[in-house]
């Protein structure tokens, strides 16, 4: 946490009173970053109506924001609190989270049954996991500790693991009435993986470690993660997981990346997690540098350039950024590369946050040197996360129990960032030509994989 908070607040007050117009960001100046982060956090909270007449505590308005995205937004504010030390939103966060905890204190809320899959729940659980790791104030009695809340949800996932088909995996939906009950997707399984990794590192309990291994082995075995670490959207038990939906979204690679980084940290920088961390980081290149004039800037490759992202998709970059920043902490060998991406993206985002009545509304494209005319929670949240993320080298790492020992990173890790050898090979059945080693040139060098993916996409009917 930053020591300069008092002087930051003084500066901020004078900054805001000057009728703040646009975000003047100097990515090398802590004060400037704090101001930009504060402004973007305010923009996120300005969209929250849960504590106003007609609103529901804990929720951003639906429509257009599904319940999961509110979890995503609290998650961004949780990270913001940790990275900046700004206490402004602590009360409103606690108040909102309590109401959405559900009767079993696991973020399964009866009123949201229609739109809660394992992934939706996970975006709330991530808030509690970070709260535990960062020593965010505990909820008042009778609510359990943050760690207990995470464990409650984790046990839900264990009970939902389903080996009746596909040799394992979590279904997207756990309620048989919901469309998607037969789909086994990367974000649900990746969330279970990442939470297992974080719980293993936090507690030192090997049960979590064994589950992290099981989930990784399943996801890579079935082809959700391929041998060059592309992470695809999902697969379906109706075809016994012999086909894969090859759409690629930022948050899917992000969720596995951070889980792998946590495990490489917990296992002292050893194989296989160090190679997997490096490989997944390399795979994020699919979502970086959309044009020659946009070096190192993040974008949502499936839909952003064509402006066809839906409301959910507009927020996904936020989570990749959150997990990349956190990865640079857990796996110091990644910090140089991730720092480049964060700085270029933040600069682009600052330029994109110049719309609306206050000249601070953020657009979705961070490479057009201005606002792209779009507005929404996803755009604001992505900008918030890329701003606070610049402070990653000044934050404390996630805590562990005192009896868990975390060793320093090996001085010169010997990993090849494009490692493709000796890794599990995904199921041959499901894989079109653009998968695997043959795809390296197309997917990595030019980010031209999208049209190809659309053309070759193995269609899976979800009924």
Ligand X SMILES: *[C@@H]1O[C@H](CO)[C@@H](O)[C@H](O)[C@H]1NC(C)=O
Strand partners, 361: 355
Both tokens of 385, joined, read 């996360």
Closer to ligand X at the Cβ: 166 or 301?
166
Q: Which residue is nearest to ligand X (CB)?
A: 339
Q: Contact between 30 and ligand X (CB under 6 A)? A: no
Could you say which of 4, 7, 21, 137 contacts ligand X (CB under 6 A)? 21
| CB of residue 107 to ligand X, shortest distance in Å | 18
Find the Cα–Cα–Cα–Cα dihedral 221, 123, 341, 84, rounded to 10°: -140
| CB of residue 430 to ligand X, shortest distance in Å | 11
Q: Contact between 82 and ligand X (CB under 6 A)? A: no
- Within 10 A of 324 (CB to CB), how many other CB atoms are there? 30
Q: Contact between 392 and ligand X (CB under 6 A)? A: yes
353 within 8 A of 23, measured Cβ to Cβ: yes
Q: Quick one: CA dihedral 240, 245, 246, 247, positive or negative? A: negative
Both tokens of 235, joined, read 């697969």
Q: Contact between 307 and ligand X (CB under 6 A)? A: no
Q: Contact between 434 and ligand X (CB under 6 A)? A: no
**Helical pair 118-134 and 146-160, crossing angle rounded to 10 deg:** 150
- Cα 463 from Cα 461, distance rounded (Å): 6
Q: Contact between 52 and ligand X (CB under 6 A)? A: yes
Strand partners, 288: 298
Could you say which of 63, 103, 110, 336 contacts ligand X (CB under 6 A)? 336
Half-sphere CA count of 447, side-chain side, radius 13 A: 22
Q: Contact between 446 and ligand X (CB under 6 A)? A: no
| Residue 244: strand, helix, or coil | strand
Closer to ligand X at the Cβ: 302 or 438?
302
Q: For residue 159, what are the CA distances in angstroms to 64, 118, 165, 171, 220?
A: 31, 12, 15, 11, 21
Q: Quick one: CA dihedral 123, 310, 117, 103, positive or negative? A: positive
427 within 8 A of 215, measured Cβ to Cβ: no
Of 170, 79, 192, 178, the C-alpha closest to 125 is: 192
Place of tokens 């973020």: 107
String of contacts with ligand X for each residue 54-73, x by CB under 6 A: --------------------
Residues numbered 178-207 forming contacts with ligand X, rule: CB under 6 A: 204
From 46-54, 97-105, 108-116, 446-454, give the range in contact with ligand X by CB under 6 A. Answer: 46-54
Q: Contact between 332 and ligand X (CB under 6 A)? A: yes
DSSP string, 254-292: HHHHHHHHHHHHHTTT-TTHHHHHHHHHHHGGGGB-SSG
From 102-110, 124-132, 336-344, 428-436, give the range in contact with ligand X by CB under 6 A. Answer: 336-344
Q: Contact between 166 and ligand X (CB under 6 A)? A: yes
Q: Contact between 351 and ligand X (CB under 6 A)? A: no
Q: Contact between 265 and ligand X (CB under 6 A)? A: yes
Could you say which of 403, 405, 414, 446 contacts ligand X (CB under 6 A)? 403
| CB of residue 178 to ligand X, shortest distance in Å | 13
Q: Contact between 305 and ligand X (CB under 6 A)? A: no
Q: Is cis: bond before 97, omega within 30 of 0?
A: no
- Cα 287 from Cα 402, distance rounded (Å): 38
- Cα 94 from Cα 27, distance rounded (Å): 31
Q: Contact between 135 and ligand X (CB under 6 A)? A: no
- Cα 168 from Cα 145, distance rounded (Å): 30
Q: Contact between 29 and ligand X (CB under 6 A)? A: no
Q: What is the 3-state secondary structure (H, E, C) of 138-181?
A: CCCCCCCCHHHHHHHHHHHHHHHCCCCCCCCCCCCCCCCCCCCC
Q: Contact between 359 and ligand X (CB under 6 A)? A: yes
| CB of residue 289 to ligand X, shortest distance in Å | 11
From 73-81, 132-140, 223-231, 329-337, give the range in contact with ligand X by CB under 6 A. Answer: 329-337
Count the residues of the shown chain that bind ligand X, applying the rule CB under 6 A. Answer: 51
| CB of residue 233 to ligand X, shortest distance in Å | 18
| CB of residue 397 to ligand X, shortest distance in Å | 4
Q: Contact between 369 and ligand X (CB under 6 A)? A: yes
Closer to ligand X at the Cβ: 62 or 401?
401
Q: Contact between 407 and ligand X (CB under 6 A)? A: yes
Site residues (vs ligand X, CB under 6 A): 19, 21, 42, 45-46, 51-52, 89, 92, 160, 162, 164-167, 204, 240-241, 264-265, 268-269, 291, 293-294, 329-332, 335-336, 339, 342, 356-359, 361, 367-369, 390, 392-393, 397, 401, 403, 406-409
């Amino acid at each position: 946490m930053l020591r300069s908070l008092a002087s930051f607040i003084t500066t901020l007050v004078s900054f805001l009173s000057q009728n703040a117009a646009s975000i003047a960001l100097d990515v090398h100046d802590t004060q400037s970053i704090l101001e930009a982060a504060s402004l973007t956090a305010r923009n996120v909270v300005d969209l929250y109506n849960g504590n106003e007449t007609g609103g529901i505590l804990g929720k951003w308005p639906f429509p257009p924001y599904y319940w999961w995205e509110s979890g995503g937004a609290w998650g961004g504010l949780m990270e913001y609190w940790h990275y900046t030390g700004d206490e402004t939103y602590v009360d409103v966060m606690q108040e909102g989270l309590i109401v959405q905890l559900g009767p079993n204190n696991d973020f399964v809320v009866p009123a949201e049954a229609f739109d809660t899959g394992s992934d939706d729940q996970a975006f709330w659980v991530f808030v509690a996991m970070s709260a535990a790791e960062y020593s965010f104030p505990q909820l008042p009695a009778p609510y359990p500790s943050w760690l207990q809340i995470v464990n409650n949800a984790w046990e839900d996932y264990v009970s939902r693991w389903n080996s009746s088909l596909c040799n394992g995996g979590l279904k997207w939906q756990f309620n048989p009435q919901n469309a998607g009950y037969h789909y086994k997707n990367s974000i649900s399984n990746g969330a279970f993986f990442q939470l297992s990794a974080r719980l293993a590192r936090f507690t030192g309990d090997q049960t979590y470690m064994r589950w992290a291994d099981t989930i990784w082995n399943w996801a890579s075995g079935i082809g959700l993660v391929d041998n060059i670490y592309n992470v695809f959207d999902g697969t379906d038990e109706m075809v016994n997981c012999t086909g894969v939906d090859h759409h690629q979204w930022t948050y899917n690679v992000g969720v596995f990346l951070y889980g792998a980084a946590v495990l490489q940290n917990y296992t002292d920088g050893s194989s296989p997690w160090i190679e997997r961390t490096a490989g997944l980081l390399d795979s994020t290149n699919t979502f970086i540098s959309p044009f020659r004039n946009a070096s190192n800037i993040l974008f949502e490759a499936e839909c952003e350039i064509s402006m066809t992202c839906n409301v959910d998709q507009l927020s996904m970059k936020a989570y990749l950024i959150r997990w990349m920043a956190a990865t640079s902490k857990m796996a110091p060998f990644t910090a140089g590369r991730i720092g480049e991406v964060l700085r270029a993206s933040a600069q682009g985002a600052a330029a994109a946050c110049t719309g609306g009545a206050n000249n601070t509304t953020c657009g979705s494209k961070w490479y057009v040197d201005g606002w792209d005319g779009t507005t929404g929670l996803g755009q604001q949240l992505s900008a918030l996360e890329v701003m606070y993320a610049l402070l990653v080298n000044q934050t404390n790492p996630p805590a562990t129990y005192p009896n868990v020992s975390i060793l320093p990173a090996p001085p010169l890790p010997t990993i090849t960032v494009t490692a493709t050898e000796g890794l599990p090979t995904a199921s041959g059945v499901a894989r079109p030509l653009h998968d695997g080693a043959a795809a390296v040139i197309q997917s990595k060098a030019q980010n031209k994989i999208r049209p190809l993916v659309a053309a070759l996409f193995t269609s899976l009917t979800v009924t």
